[in-house]
Amino acid sequence: METVTEKQVMSQEEIQTLSNIQNNTQQLIYELGEIELFTLQMEQRRDDAKKVLNNLKSQEQDFNKLIFEKYGKVTINPENGEISKVD
C-alpha cells in the first residue's frame, strides 16, 4: 500500500476537466440506457408485427380454402369481386 507523504491539489483547470469527463460519462451511460430501452421496444413491436403477419397468413389460407371449395380453381378481382374460372 502506498504512503502519502505530501498533499497536492489539482489546478482548477484539472478539476474542471475531471468534472467534465465524469459528466460526459454519466450522459453516455444515460444515452446507452435509452438506446437499449428503444431497442427492446422495437423488438417487442417486431414480435407483435410477426404475430399479426401470421394471423393474416392464416386468414388468407382459410379464405382461399373456402373460395376453392365454393368456386373451384378461380382467379378473383379484389376490386369488384369478379370470379374467373381457371382451366
- Report pLDDT for 87: 77
Specify whether the backbone of 16 is left (phi greater than 0), alpha (psi in -120 to 50) or beta. Answer: alpha
pLDDT at 86 over 90: no
* Spatial contact of 74 and 67, defined as CB atoms under 8 Å apart: yes
Give the tens place of pLDDT for each residue, 61-85.
Answer: 999 999 999 999 999 999 998 999 9
pLDDT at 4 over 80: no
User: What does R_g of the chain's alpha carbons equal in angstroms?
Assistant: 33
Q: Lowest-confidence range among 30-34, 42-46, 74-78?
A: 74-78
